[in-house]
Every structure is written in C-alpha cells, then in structure tokens.
C-alpha cells in the first residue's frame, strides 16, 4: 500500500473516531492527510469504501497472524486438539496487542469502529462477515475440538458471546479505568489479555457443559 493511501486511511480513522461515519467529513480527512478530494475518489471511491479500508487495514493483518499462530500451534501439537486457553489466547493476543498497545494511535481505531458499528449500517455488517467469516469458522472448529466436540449450537452461542465480549472490551476500553476506580492502567495490555483469556475460556467451558434445553 502506498504512502498516500496510508495517510488517507490514518486521517480517516481519526475523523471516524471523533465524528462517527455519518458525521465524518471528507474535507476534514483530505485536509488532515494533505491530499485533495480527487485522491480519495481515486484510491477509495465512496466514504463507505474508505471506512471499509480502515477496517481492513487494521484487522486483516491481525487475522493473518491469528491463522499462522493457529497453524503453528497445531503443528507443534501434532494435529491434536489444543488446550482451550491456547486457542482463546490466539484469538485475543494479536488483537489487543496491536489495538491497545502503546502504538495503538490513542484508540482511534477502536473508537471509529465503535461509533460506526453503533450506526448499524448494512455495509458494516456485510464488511464484518467478509473480513471475519473464515476466521470465525476456523476458530469455531478449533474451540469445538478443544471442548470435546459438544453440540455445535453450544459453540454458536459461545462464539457469539465471545465476539460480543471482544467488541465490547474494545469499544468501551476507556471505561475500564472508571470500573476499576482508577486501579487499572489502560495501557497495561498484558493484564487485560490475561483476564480476558481466563474469563472467556471459563465461559466457553461452562456453556459446553450445560444440559441441553
């Protein structure tokens, strides 16, 4: 990706974070990126397409890393089912290390996605499916194997709740300081990851052991 596209994406990320998708101004984005409107039209087309590229720019490298980590873990384990906490960690660690680490750009991406998803536009829902579907399918299967292949409806519930927890933890990350009465450092990514792994793994295991209703 060339420098002009990266400048536009990073400027758009800030604009979407501050004003949401509907309120975002193309003029403000071009001013911040130091380009003209024609550059956005040439590289991205519409504001919807630009929003999609902001999402892909941040998430697709994370998904690539997740898939590679899962492949490596299975290879080391000679193809046998992995411990549940290891699968959950592979889902969580690349995401939060990249998006809440010290170089996370003041949580602009998280804020942009939070406001954008809150508008519930159809193209955002389809974008999430396009970018995440293969990852969801692969990790659903890995989690199912880790739990001894319970009824797959339980995995469906578990993956839905897992997704909601991750999205909520990202969108509302700033609230963690208030919830902890100032005891939690928002930049202490390792602690956040460790707590999420424990919480989500415990929930998935409990769901898999529920009596079928």
pLDDT tens digit sequence for 165-175: 887 887 777 78
Q: Which helix (H) or strand (E) holds 42?
A: helix 37-43
- Region of residue 79 (left: phi > 0; alpha: psi -120 to 50; beta: else): left
CATH code for the part of the protein at 51-208: 1.10.357.10
pLDDT tens digit sequence for 7-58: 999 999 999 999 999 999 999 999 999 999 999 999 999 999 999 999 999 9
- Region of residue 96 (left: phi > 0; alpha: psi -120 to 50; beta: else): alpha
DSSP calls for 173-208: TTHHHHHTTT-S-TT-HHHHHHHHHHHHHHHHHHHH
114-to-69, 93, 165, 173, 188 alpha-carbon distances in Å:
27, 20, 13, 11, 21
pLDDT tens digit sequence for 58-97: 999 999 999 999 999 999 999 999 999 999 999 999 988 8
Q: What is the pLDDT of residue 168?
A: 81
Reported confidence tier of residue 111, pLDDT bands at 50, 70, 90: confident
The contacts of residue 81 (CB under 8 Å, 6+ apart) are 142, 145, 146
């Amino acid at each position: 990706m060339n420098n002009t596209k990266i400048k536009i994406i990073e400027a758009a990320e800030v604009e979407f974070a501050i004003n949401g998708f509907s309120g975002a101004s193309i003029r403000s984005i071009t001013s911040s990126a130091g380009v003209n409107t024609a550059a956005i039209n040439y590289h991205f087309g519409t504001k919807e397409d630009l929003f999609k590229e902001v999402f892909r720019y941040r998430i697709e490298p994370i998904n690539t890393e997740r898939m590679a980590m899962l492949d490596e873990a299975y290879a080391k384990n000679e193809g046998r089912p992995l411990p549940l906490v290891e699968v959950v960690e592979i889902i969580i660690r690349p995401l939060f290390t990249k998006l809440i680490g010290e170089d996370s750009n003041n949580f602009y991406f998280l804020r942009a996605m939070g406001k954008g998803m809150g508008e519930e536009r159809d193209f955002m829902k389809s974008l999430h499916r396009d970018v995440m579907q293969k990852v969801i399918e692969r990790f659903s299967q890995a989690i199912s194997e880790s739990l001894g292949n319970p009824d797959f409806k339980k995995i469906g519930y578990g993956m839905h709740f897992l997704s909601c927890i991750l999205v909520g933890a990202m969108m509302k990350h700033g609230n963690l300081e208030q919830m902890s009465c100032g005891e939690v450092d928002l930049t202490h990514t390792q602690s956040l990851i460790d707590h999420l792994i424990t919480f989500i793994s415990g929930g998935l295991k409990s769901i898999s052991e529920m009596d079928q209703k």
